[in-house]
Chain A
Amino acid sequence: MRGLARGLFASVVLLSASACGVGCRAAKAEDTGDTLIVGAYSAPREAFEEAVIPAFRAAWRRQTGRDIVVRASYLGSGAQARAIAQGFEADVAVLALDSDVDKLVKAALVAPDWRARTGGAGLMARSLVVIAVRSGNPKGIADWADLGRPGVEVLTPNPRTSGGAMWNLLAVYGSAAGDVKAKSAAVARVLDNVIVMDKAARESLVSFERGIGDAAITYEQEVHVARRAGRHYDYVVPPATAVIDVPMATVDRYADAHGRRAVAEAFVAFLRSRQGQALLGGFGFRPATGPIDLPGDARFPAAGHPFTAADFGGWKKIAPGLFAPDTGAITRVLDATREDREALR
């Protein structure tokens, strides 16, 4: 019965991961040639498909004289981590949260020392949590507090279904001065004005592009991708905001089982190479290492007082402390109604 129940959930997950369903089968048919399976979260889709993967294939051909097929599946970070843990045999994982990679460590798929092996704390790139606003910023939004003003309608995805949403709310929470109560109150003020919580970060921004709301909390990188596709609006970097770390790792057990460790490690190294970082930069990602501000690059506005997940003890502490069911500080605010939130203040 228990196996049955698990099977049911697995099939639900797999159904939702339809992209994988196709990718997995195709991959098995070609196990003999050079193939690489990448399981990624949804934000780097354009960067990977349009720039990184073609460049990597060219580099691989130069180095080895062999062709390589790279198949990538893109899902919400949590869903992708679960898909990989439940048998989507990706060789490389690129996810939105450290803690999602740690799920793969717990499933004995990724070796515990993945951060050290990838170099630079296991990051592929970084981005900032920003506020997308209508062109010309008609509501005059400059900081998180402005999202709590009466009459401002805000979009942010649901943190229960989107890793990006957790970064968004961490940015609001972490930028507020004071103790847990004051920080929670800052989140509460913004949440009072949230009119839609879409399932995923990308969906939320699509709703914004459709004309819904005055502001959307999103990744800086997502706005750059929209601009490349010809959808133009402004964004504001609040004076204090969160630096988003994008972790990546080789999925050691699958890569070894497929005999693709060398390719997997080459892909990870390529992402961290000067060329890989430049390609990612073209799609709005900030570099994995070094200062987050790039004064010489007009595409990236300066961040005043950026903070990282590490400043709050890393996702190992943030996930249970802020987002655990019932007890997490942000979960409590989410579960409260407007009236309850009044009382919180």
Chain B
Amino acid sequence: MKAARPTAGALSLRVVAVAFLGVMVALPLAAVVGSVLTGPGGVGTALHALLSRTARAALWLTVWTAVVVALVNAVMGTLTAWVLSRYHFVGKAILNAAIDLPFAIPTLVTGLMLVVLYGPQQVIGHLLAAHGLRLLFAPAGIILSLLFVTFPFVVRAVEPVLMDIDVDQEEAAATLGSSPFRTFVQVVLPALRPAVLTATLLTFTRALGEFGAVVVVAGNIPRRTLTAPVYVFGAIESGEPAAASAMSLVLVAVSAGLILAVDRYTRSRARAMGVRV
């Protein structure tokens, strides 16, 4: 495509898109940054709150559970997409429809569903308790709820790429004596990598910010099961806006930093492969 002088229509389209992004995304972000800078006590108060043991523990818990969730869903999501795109089986249409449900269900309801399922009055919860296992009100419960909430990302990102890949390539590899596993790793996976990477990242950032489901299943005990978003809620409710804004900013910064890093990585790879970006 040749770069040409943009027409008035194309120009106004850009203005609209940038303005929309500015109002819907940049402005609220700027407000949080502003509230840290100008809040009572300023940056000092915000930093002090962030460095407290409770805040640090909350951030660490949030980050490591989000990492676990991103990795698990990267594997299971790719697997699910593979199965959906390569095999036919009874109930496939239903499974396909069910995958998107986590996005349609309010996350608070997700939390409640897990509490009902694994709570002490239900069969599963009762069995677990009898064996001294606790899923709810422990990091395991946080991970379960996040797995549910973020499940569609990887599946829905990888599935169209798989559909696009010519099955001929896989068949050729098989004819040449490659095992199905080797075919997957050497032929399919390289093509999937950008999609998996991006979707895993989305999963991670979404998990980082999840509140509704987590607040119900986590237990919210400081330094044990209190996550960063729930910490933010507590700070707002107890009249400490500086602490709330500061923690929010850290969560935003972690997500933004990762997204930028992966974006650079995929661009440089694309360039190395001779694709114009």
- Asked whether, in the complex, the Cβ of A210 is within 8 Å of the Cβ of B115, the reply is yes
Given A78-B237, A212-B119, do A5 and B39 touch, yes or no (CB 8 Å)? yes
- How many angstroms from the CA of A211 to the CA of B236 in the assembled complex? 30
Q: What residue in chain B is nearest A333 (Cβ atoms)?
A: B222
User: Whole-angstrom distance from the CB of A49 to the nearest CB of chain B?
Assistant: 23
User: Whole-angstrom distance from the CB of A63 to the nearest CB of chain B?
Assistant: 39
Residue of A1, A13, A78 with most chain B CB atoms under a 10 A cut-off: A1
Q: What residue in chain B is nearest A191 (Cβ atoms)?
A: B221
User: Whole-angstrom distance from the CB of B251 to the nearest CB of chain A?
Assistant: 15
- Which residues of A lie under 8 Å from residue B96 when comparing CB positions? none
- Asked whether, in the complex, the Cβ of B35 is within 8 Å of the Cβ of A8, the reply is yes
B219 within 8 A of A: yes
A308 within 8 A of B: no
B223 within 8 A of A: yes
B265 within 8 A of A: no
- Which residues of A lie under 8 Å from residue B197 when comparing CB positions? none
Q: What residue in chain A is nearest B28 (Cβ atoms)?
A: A8
- How many angstroms from the CA of A231 to the CA of B215 in the assembled complex? 24
- Asked whether, in the complex, the Cβ of B49 is within 8 Å of the Cβ of A5, the reply is no
User: Whole-angstrom distance from the CB of B230 to the nearest CB of chain A?
Assistant: 9
Given A158-B220, A210-B119, A337-B223, do A1 and B240 touch, yes or no (CB 8 Å)? no
Given A78-B237, A196-B220, A326-B52, do A7 and B120 touch, yes or no (CB 8 Å)? no
- Which residues of A lie under 8 Å from residue B257 when comparing CB positions? none
- Asked whether, in the complex, the Cβ of A212 is within 8 Å of the Cβ of B120, the reply is yes
- Which residues of B lie under 8 Å from residue A198 when comparing CB positions? 220
A304 within 8 A of B: no
- Which residues of A lie under 8 Å from residue B27 when comparing CB positions? 4
Which residues of B (109-128) have their CB < 8 Å from a CB of A?
Answer: 115-116, 119-121
Q: What residue in chain A is nearest B221 (Cβ atoms)?
A: A197
- Asked whether, in the complex, the Cβ of B240 is within 8 Å of the Cβ of A5, the reply is no
A-facing mask of B19-36, CB < 8 A → 1, else 0? 000000001101110110
- How many angstroms from the CA of A233 to the CA of B82 in the assembled complex? 51
A259 within 8 A of B: no
Which residues of A (117-176) have their CB < 8 Å from a CB of B?
Answer: 158, 160-161
A306 within 8 A of B: no
Residue of B48, B239, B243 with most chain A CB atoms under a 10 A cut-off: B239
User: Whole-angstrom distance from the CB of B156 to the nearest CB of chain A?
Assistant: 28
B-facing mask of A304-345, CB < 8 A → 1, else 0? 000000000000000000000110000000111100000000
A260 within 8 A of B: no
- Asked whether, in the complex, the Cβ of A160 is within 8 Å of the Cβ of B238, the reply is yes
B43 within 8 A of A: no
Could you say which of B48, B53, B136, B234 contacts A160, with CB atoms under 8 Å apart? B234
Given A210-B119, A325-B49, do A7 and B31 touch, yes or no (CB 8 Å)? yes
- Asked whether, in the complex, the Cβ of A9 is within 8 Å of the Cβ of B236, the reply is yes
In the complex, how many residues of chain A place their beta carbon closer than 8 angstroms to a beta carbon of chain B? 33
- Which residues of A lie under 8 Å from residue B233 when comparing CB positions? 161, 199
Which residues of B (232-270) have their CB < 8 Å from a CB of A?
Answer: 233-241, 243, 245
Given A9-B236, A161-B233, A212-B120, do A199 and B215 touch, yes or no (CB 8 Å)? yes
Given A199-B233, A210-B119, A212-B119, do A334 and B39 touch, yes or no (CB 8 Å)? no
A79 within 8 A of B: yes
- Asked whether, in the complex, the Cβ of B222 is within 8 Å of the Cβ of A335, the reply is yes
- Which residues of B lie under 8 Å from residue A212 when comparing CB positions? 115, 119-120, 136-137
B206 within 8 A of A: no
Could you say which of B28, B224, B236 contacts A337, with CB atoms under 8 Å apart? B224
Could you say which of A1, A8, A79, A199 contacts B38, with CB atoms under 8 Å apart? A1
- Asked whether, in the complex, the Cβ of B237 is within 8 Å of the Cβ of A196, the reply is no
- Asked whether, in the complex, the Cβ of B237 is within 8 Å of the Cβ of A9, the reply is no
Residue of A7, A194, A325 with most chain B CB atoms under a 10 A cut-off: A325
B183 within 8 A of A: no
User: Whole-angstrom distance from the CB of B118 to the nearest CB of chain A?
Assistant: 10
User: Whole-angstrom distance from the CB of B124 to the nearest CB of chain A?
Assistant: 13
- Asked whether, in the complex, the Cβ of B38 is within 8 Å of the Cβ of A325, the reply is no
A12 within 8 A of B: yes
A195 within 8 A of B: yes
Q: What residue in chain B is nearest A162 (Cβ atoms)?
A: B237
Q: What residue in chain B is nearest A199 (Cβ atoms)?
A: B215
Chain A residues with CB under 8 Å of chain B are 1-2, 4-9, 12-13, 76, 78-79, 82, 158, 160-161, 194-199, 207, 210-212, 325-326, 334-337
A-B contact pairs, 26 of them (CB 8 A): A1-B30, A1-B34, A1-B37, A1-B38, A2-B34, A5-B31, A5-B32, A5-B35, A5-B38, A5-B39, A8-B31, A12-B236, A158-B234, A160-B234, A161-B237, A194-B221, A195-B137, A195-B219, A195-B221, A196-B137, A210-B115, A325-B238, A325-B243, A334-B222, A335-B52, A336-B223
Chain B residues with CB under 8 Å of chain A are 27-28, 30-32, 34-35, 37-39, 48-49, 52-54, 115-116, 119-121, 136-137, 215, 219-224, 233-241, 243, 245
10 closest Cβ contacts across the A-B interface? A5-B35, A160-B234, A1-B34, A211-B121, A161-B237, A160-B238, A8-B31, A211-B120, A197-B220, A5-B34
